[in-house]
Each structure stands twice: as structure tokens, then as C-alpha cells.
Amino acid sequence: MSRSGIVTNVPEHTPLVACFGEGLIALVPTSTGPLEDVRTFERSLAGAEWNVAIALASAHTPSAVISRLGDDGFGRFLLSALDEHGVDTSAIEIDPTAPTGLYVKELGPATQGVLASSMHYYRAMSAATRITPALLETPAVQRVLAKARLVHTTGITPAISDGARAAQDALFAERGDRLISFDLNWRPMLWEGREDEAREVLGGYMARADIVQCSSSDAAALFGTSDAAALRAAFPAPRYLVVTREDGSVAFDGAERVDAPALDATVVETIGAGDAFAAGFLAGVLAGLSLAGCVARAHRLATRVLGTTRDHVD
């Protein structure tokens, strides 16, 4: 495998997906309980868009990450982790002074076998918060975008800084013939006190994307409804709209609708499963599968995350 990390056993014509957003170090406790009682943690990769890139690569769909990292040990670990999973890292810029962001996971007691987890973020002033539209003009990023058939973004990136939001706006405005995928990924802590702004900004991305995914709980929190038909009526422009629920998902391709139940799987924790689901759906779209086939592939990939406390496909 080359430094670019492209999976070598995939035909050259397979589309490349460029995932734009912040990568984070996740420190995951080795035991449940409040953080003040936890003595040891395991280090792992996190970040919604990065999880999607890894899951895509595992599904034999070449992927790349566009982002920034600190020139530190955590940043080097994240680069290495992407390389190991076959993700192109050539469009990740290294910041010599700002740190790599991280979050600490807190594992609460399990209910019916599923851990209740919460996240504590330490990403203020990270290298990724210094993303601006200038990043997109660098030769490395331009090379990735020139190959990309699809760009995947989420509602997290525009919340971390004004520069990152401007860069995401630029990706939408300068899309060319690339498809745009947008996952709502509502993070209320990042938008605290700016909920009305978030509704306008994130709703605008949903209206302009080609492929939109959201959980029913996120949609209810931001738009006041979890009903898939109501959401489709509110956002008729995207060709694909997918709403995930605890018991399954509802997907639209134009007027076509598919309802799919969740697959039976051992569930340890749900964090990251939505990213794997998103990747499976995108892989299906790019492979030319039917709507039902895309949804089935999404559910299968999501089950690979549910049985672990890691956020991404192993």
C-alpha cells in the first residue's frame, strides 16, 4: 500500500469518496464508572467523517480524508490508523502549533446489555478548528477532489469554527459534478445558544445535498419531527433521504420508499454505528445498488460497530 492509502485490490474506476471533517483521539475507559474512578483508558480514532472513511474502505470503496491535525503524537497516531485501514491521508494538513483534538468517553452502567456512554470533548483551538477555505485550494486537496465522485460532510464541521463552516460552504458551492452527502449529526453542545442558527444552517445543507442521512432523534430535536414522511416533505430536493431509528430505517430515492428493520446483532454500544450505516449506504449508491440494496448494505456494515466500544469498523 502506498502513502496515499488507496486499497490496491479495488478496480481503478471505483469512485473515491472524500470525507471532510475533524479527526479526534478517543480515550475509552477500560471499565465503567465515573471518570474520577477510572484508572486506565484505551486510545482509539474517532470523528464522524473519519469513521465513515474507514467503513467505506472496509467496504472496498476507496476513501480519503480532508482535514487538519496537530504536529503531535496523537496526530501521527491518527494518520497511522487511517493508513492501516486503507484510507488516503494525502489531503490532511499538519499544523505546527495547534494540537490534535480529543474526547474522553465515559461508560455508564449497561441497560439490557447496552452501555450508556457520554462524551467529553477537548477540541477547542484544535488544528481542525483552524480549517478555512484556503485548505481546499492546496495542491494535495485539489488532487483528491479531482478524483472524488462524492464528498461526505456532516453537521459537526460547520459548528467547530467559522472557518470550517466557510470551507464546508465552499465544498457545496464548488461541487462541480461531484455528489454531496450530508449527515445531520446534531451536536447540541456545539450549537448551544445558537439553535435557531443551527436549524437554518443545517437545514440549508440538507436541502442542497444529493444524499441526506439523519437519525430520527436528531431530526426531532432540531426540526420538531421524527416522522420520515414529514421529513421527506420538508426536504424534497435531495434524491436520497435516509432516516435511521432504533428499530430500523426508512429510505427514499425520489418518491420510492423502503422501510427496513434493524438486523439482529449483539449491541455493546451504539456510538459510531450511524457512521458505519452512512458508509454502507454511500457504498451501495456508488456501486449502483437498488434502494433496498443500499439500505441492506448499510445495516450490515452498522452491525460491525455495535459490538464494540470503538467508534469505527475494525
Catalytic residue set:
275
Distance CA 126, CA 95 (A): 9
Residue with cell 492509502: 5
Residue with cell 467505506: 56
Distance CA 43, CA 275 (A): 19
Using DSSP, state whether 227 is helix, strand or coil. coil
Asked if residues 63 and 5 have their Cβ atoms less than 8 Å apart, the reply is: no
Residue with cell 445531520: 184
Copy the grid coordinates of residue 243. Answer: 432516516
Distance CA 83, CA 57 (A): 10
Cα 170 vs. chain centroid, distance in angstroms? Answer: 19
Neighbour-count burial of 241, counting CB atoms closer than 10 A to its CB (0-12 exposed, 13-18 middle, 19+ buried): buried
Using DSSP, state whether 142 is helix, strand or coil. helix
Distance CA 226, CA 230 (A): 8
- By C-alpha distance, which of 107, 124, 58, 111 is closest to 305? 58
Asked if residues 303 and 296 have their Cβ atoms less than 8 Å apart, the reply is: no
